[in-house]
Amino acid sequence: MSESAFSVKHLDFYYGQSMALSDINLEIEPRKVTALIGPSGCGKSTFLRCLNRMNDTIAGTRVDGKILLDGADIYSEDMDVVTLRQRVGMVFQKPNPFPQSIYDNVAFGPRVMGNAQGKKQLDELVESSLRRAAVWDDVKDILHENAMGLSLGQQQRLCIARVVAVQPEVILMDESTSALDPIATLRVEELIAELKKDYTIVIVTHNMQQAARVSDFTGLFWLGELVEFSHTNEIFTRPKEELTEAYITGRMG
């Protein structure tokens, strides 16, 4: 196997006294799609938010174990969290564009981080990010209109463009199609397949068909534990654990 993007070792996570994740160990491969499945409340979104320290914003949380990004411990004291979240971007369940123009949504991160020198370079970065998110053709003539006027599917692809614009290494997607109609969902799935050529992608999904369609690796979470993790086709055709088979065939969960 190639060098892992993320290497997770003996990860435990607590909300106060309550243990939400127990002894999670897995390797997340670069430029692949890893899907996390499991019933509601099983820890998959909590785990996803550990990967860019979004859980830090919740009082009383605690992490034991290690998460290494390119070999560096993201929970070490010298890890800059702002830089981490630029390297590991996140797309949320509900599209959350800023209430400003489409252009300004995408330009926001590069402006804050000083990634573009001058307007011409910023224009190019906005266009390339929108193209990469497969939404340029929809918005190129309305760049200075309010992003809130877009359809939900367009808004979600805009949010992906906003993440891409800061040139991350990893894109996390927390049920990023669950609020979308089937056609918009398909567009995002096609986009995921395109983006993985350049980015490591980790998705949380309730939709097992989606996991089977878009991911290279799949992990089943259950009651805060990682029950099984393997190549997606193996998980869905030859699961090693009885619980995995019961879940994917609908007998459990």
Is residue 220 domain-resident?
Answer: yes
Is residue 253 domain-resident?
Answer: no
Q: How many angstroms separate the most distant Cα atoms in the chain?
A: 57
CATH number of the domain residue 114 falls in: 3.40.50.300
Is residue 133 domain-resident?
Answer: yes
- pTM: predicted TM-score of the whole model, two decimal places: 0.94
Is residue 1 domain-resident?
Answer: no
Domain region containing 125: 6-248
- On the 0-12 / 13-18 / 19+ scale of CB atoms within 10 A, 61 is middle
Give the tokens for residue 152: 């939900």
Domain count for the chain, please give it. Answer: 1
Is residue 72 domain-resident?
Answer: yes
Q: Where are the beta strands (DSSP E) in 86-240?
A: 88-91, 170-174, 200-204, 217-222, 225-231
| pLDDT by position in tens, the chain (length 253) | 448 899 999 999 999 999 999 999 999 999 999 999 999 999 999 999 999 999 999 999 999 999 999 999 999 999 999 999 999 999 999 999 999 999 999 999 999 888 888 899 999 999 999 999 999 999 999 999 999 999 999 999 999 999 999 999 999 999 999 989 999 999 999 999 999 999 999 999 999 999 999 999 999 999 999 999 999 999 999 999 999 999 999 887 6
Report the alpha-carbon distance of residue 216 to residue 205 in Å, rounded: 14
